[in-house]
Amino acid sequence: MAEKTITIKATRFDPDKDSAPRLQSYDIPFTDEAMVVLDALNYIKAHVDGSLSYRWSCRMGICGSCGMMVNGTPKLSCSAFLRDYWPKPVTVQPLNNFPIIRDLVIDMEDFMHKLKSVQPWIIRKQELPLGAGEHRQTTAQIDEFKQFSQCINCMLCYSACPVYGLNNEFLGPAAIALARRYNLDSRDQGLTKRLPVIADSEGVWECSFVGECSVVCPKGVDPAKAIQQTKLDTTLRFTLPFGNRD
Amino acid sequence: MLVIGGGLAGIRAAIAAVEANPRITVGMVSKVYPMRSHTVSAEGGAAAVLRPEDSYETHAFDTIKGSDYLADQDVVEAFVREAPIEVIQMEHWGCPWSRDPDGKISARPFGGMTTWRTCFAADKTGFHMLHTVFQTSLKYEQIHRHDEVFVTKLLVEDERCIGVVAFDQRSGRFDAITAKATILATGGLGRIYAFTTNGNICTGDGMALAYRAGVGLKDMEMVQFHPTGLPFTGILITEAVRGEGGYLTNKNGDRFLKDYVPNKMELGPRDIISRAMITEFDAGRGFEGPHGKYMNLDVRHLGEEVIDRKLPFMRELGREFVGIDIVNEPIPVRPVMHYMMGGVDADISGATPLLGLYAAGECANVGLNGGNRLGSNSLSECLVFGAASGRAAAEHASTAKAVTANPVDAMLWDEARRVESAYLEKTGGDEKIGTIREEMQRDMDAGAGVFRTKEGLQKLTDQLGGLRERFERIKVEDSSRTFNTELTAALELDFMLEISQTIVASALAREESRGAHARKDFPERNDEKYLKHTVALSRGPEDPRPRLEYRDVRITNFKPQARVY
Amino acid sequence: MKAPAQAARAEPRAYRWTMPANWWTRNRHYFLYTVREFTALPMALWLLWLLYDIKSAGAGAANFQPPRSAAFIAFSAVCFLFATYHSYTFLKLAGVIMHVKVLDKTVPPRAIIITMFGLWALATVVIGAVLIGFAR
């Protein structure tokens, strides 16, 4: 009985040799129904073409390294099962909307700057001393921001967002979701410090609610919700009397 | 100063250093972006004495007994006192610890712990802790990150460590980064084994770097196998599943642990439970699956509400990777390589015998975990010893002599040439990196697994020697300078082949069974001869086999007893 | 001894990404989003025509000829469908956008959506009644 195979078409690009990315085709054995696109890439690298470069680490959907376009949709390659595509070929490309460094590796420095710009840490007017123990916080208070704290920084949302693709200045879904995570944390008092960045024309107001970010998010963070809620909150702060409190 | 590695221990060390001395600059060098560090996959929790009914003494005793009395007791006693402070510090930095109804940090039962002291953030504790420290570290301007920079060698001059040689993966450019103090926080080495919970990046880099610089690797034979990994992928199913009340059952539906750890049952220590499962497999009482034998981990009796509140990530993993809903079906699990108790020889403040070099986290062995680590001690360990080494390194750096440029340029030149000629300019060769790596992993699984024998270990020594020879003849297909992951794979394999020899040699020499090291030919513990740490030292690049020394375990208040649960 | 090749190595040039002009055809969600945004244009044109009509009607009831051509009715029908589609999607998303708390408990999204649609229906009836009443 013939061995089952599957075709992987992967983007190749070496800035020292290539002027533009191109697709290269590989046929590999499809030996187990549990195989994912990442397994296919690992097989190619170990047994067929050692020069294929891509990022990966945990293989369980929590580190966020392995984001790629799989047949035109941003996915974590460790969670994209080959059985969902077989027998058709699988096209694997670097994430849309980012500069390509090499093969399937994109430049994510822009996100790192944007993450820092929203000040994603607890800001307090007065630090509680360690000896005083923990801030009291209830499960209900955690539920307020829990969803937005699940972000693994995988960048699939930036890749899905046409606004970010057309305008790289846009702050972006993940950064805004993380800003909201801290704004809603009962221990944080830093909302006014974050507002200039998130309530900016390149912040939440650049978003036109396409909603694709939330569709592709592998952790259910729903960044579209975070952005729209932030729009409403910042508007109410601005318009309501006594809305602009700390 | 420098921190190599951007996981929980590394980032904690960097923050501790700049808080101790705001005028210091800390370079944080990581081969991946810090949020990718393998801390992110930790699930269960971080142990700390926070409740009034708990005591430092019980936490210390649980840890020491859990270590099969190989732990240095003074280190354990200091650790249990620092852990609660670190948990509160994490809370202040925003870590979303799960809470009790009164709003205080909650705790859950865990393996080998006599009381509930494992603080948790649902079942993604490592994820939340890593993102908390990483995002907090962004507010310190003194911490300069060098992301996706791969360290190939420690710089040593006049018997002190003065920094590292590393290359930027993006541009391929080599640089010497000098520092008056360097902390290794590079994590574990799970990828030496075929079946492991560890991610791709866990290749023991820091251990190999220290070993090559003449620092000893302590207790390398102590490799922890976690009882509950998913077959095929090796993805971790957290001990918290058992902590919340899950049952382990064999083919006959029996909770077989009643024959091994009757008083603790599913909450026994990991080494004993893993051995129990293998023993049951050998007796034919395991399930047979397409990916090997397994046992059932059953949480159906906990109910959907508890599972969704306490174990939501497990439900997600079950659905995604096994196609089951753990609310209605048992989880297939088998023992999987998970953690390295062994590591770089470091003391209570993280200092290694090499002046200017420190180590913290999983890559270090400060003497806390001995022969077997209790679950939820590792996340606390990263915080406590990350902070301790950060402060110690900062203090050392503030008084140490400056590093002079002269010999550094020559050393950088040499190292860059070494890597270029060995890999990037290599022609010919007929061995594939992937093939050698896979063989090493299979051989380690077979020869240095849960149960070891003299024959198995000797065979493994020869196999590793053969693989090392074949490694010299690898074919490198990628000569690009830009993000060359074949180069990093080759360098990592080079590290792994070297330190795997220390694991095998240490295991061969320890002719007893203690903690996670189980010898079929020496099934008893021998305190007279082996109440000592094994220290493996390099004999230099020509001889792959280490020189072994022994060092007494430090006993303070707890005399070694029989380890029964 | 040969110098390391990296001595004068500059940062390699990354390949710049550009959005393809047909990006909005590549994905069903993108297409529906573009349609939704596009509905604003014909609706704006229809409303401009309405303003013009109101102005003409102000000149005198005798001269006023409300448009009756088939083309205009067809255009109005299309605009009506667009308006309904736009309102429907917007009101459905209200459950996502609005984070309302009553007495410390978060109002579930379904309740918000039903309330919004309810208010929409009410407004339609009220405005319709007013217009028809004035027309009499």
A63 contacts B88? CB cut-off 8 A = no
Asked if this assembly's ipTM is beyond 0.95, the reply is yes
B413 contacts C12? CB cut-off 8 A = no
Residues of B in contact with C12 (CB under 8 A): 170-172, 481-482
CA distance linking residue A111 with residue B198, whole number of Å: 26
Residues of C in contact with A232 (CB under 8 A): 97-99
Model pLDDT for residues B234-246, shown as the tens digit of each residue:
999 999 999 999 9
Question: How distant is the Cα of A219 from the closest Cα of chain B, in angstroms?
Answer: 10
Residue C102, pLDDT score: 76
| Interface test mutation site (partner C, options A228, A231, A235, max chain C beta carbons within 10 A) | A228
Sequence-ordered list of residues with C-beta below 8 angstroms from that of C125, at least 6 positions apart, any chain: none
Model pLDDT for residues B73-129, shown as the tens digit of each residue:
999 999 999 999 999 999 999 999 999 999 999 999 999 999 999 999 998 999 999
Residues of C in contact with B171 (CB under 8 A): 9-12
Nearest CA in chain B to A132: B88
Tokens (6 digits) for C41 = 């244009």
**Residue B218 and residue B532 in contact, taking contact as beta carbons nearer than 8 Å:** no
CA distance linking residue B64 with residue C47, whole number of Å: 80
Instruction: Indicate the Cα dihedral angle B455, B188, B67, B43, nearest 10°.
Output: -120
Q: Active-site residue B226, yes or no?
A: yes
No. of H helices and E strands in chain B?
15, 22
CA distance linking residue A229 with residue A176, whole number of Å: 11
3-state secondary structure of A179: helix
Which position has the token pair 């579209």?
Answer: A224
CB pairs A-C closer than 8 Å: 62
Residues of C in contact with B170 (CB under 8 A): 11-12
**Residue A227 and residue A173 in contact, taking contact as beta carbons nearer than 8 Å:** yes
Nearest CA in chain A to B479: A51
Please report, as a single letter, which amino acid is at residue C44: A
Residue C89, pLDDT score: 85
C8 touches chain B (CB under 8 A): no
**Residue B50 and residue B105 in contact, taking contact as beta carbons nearer than 8 Å:** yes
What is the total residue count of chain A?
246
**Residue B181 and residue B397 in contact, taking contact as beta carbons nearer than 8 Å:** yes
CA distance linking residue B338 with residue B238, whole number of Å: 11
Residue A2, pLDDT score: 66
Residues of C in contact with B167 (CB under 8 A): 6
3-state secondary structure of A112: helix
CA distance linking residue A169 with residue B228, whole number of Å: 45
pTM of the model: 0.95
**Residue A58 and residue A78 in contact, taking contact as beta carbons nearer than 8 Å:** yes
B418 touches chain C (CB under 8 A): no
Q: Domains in chain C, ordered, with CATH? A: 15-133 (1.20.1300.10)
Residue C87, pLDDT score: 86
Residue B67, pLDDT score: 97
Residue A245, pLDDT score: 56
Positions in chain B whose pLDDT score sits under 50 = none
Residue A3, pLDDT score: 85
Blockwise average pLDDT, block size 10, chain A, 246 residues: 88 94 97 94 96 97 97 97 96 97 97 97 95 95 96 98 96 98 96 94 95 96 95 88 61
pLDDT for residue C62 is more than 70: no
A83 touches chain B (CB under 8 A): no
Given B108, B160, B191, B242, the catalytic residue:
B242
Nearest to B235 among A60, A102, A138 (CB): A60
Q: Active-site residue B242, yes or no?
A: yes
